[in-house]
Amino acid sequence: MECTVCKSRKQLPIKRCKHFELGGDKKRKGQMIQF
Sign of the dihedral defined by the CA atoms of residues 13, 15, 18, 20, in that order = negative
Q: What is the pTM of this model?
A: 0.14
CA distance 33 to 18: 9
CA atoms within 13 A on the CB side of 23: 5
CA distance 2 to 8: 10
Sorted by where each begins, the domain ranges of the chain are 4-34
DSSP tag of 18: H
**pLDDT tens digits, 1-35:** 445 555 555 555 555 555 545 555 555 555 555 55
Model pLDDT, residue 1: 47
Query: Integer distance in angstroms from the first to the last C-alpha of the chain?
Result: 9
Model pLDDT, residue 19: 52
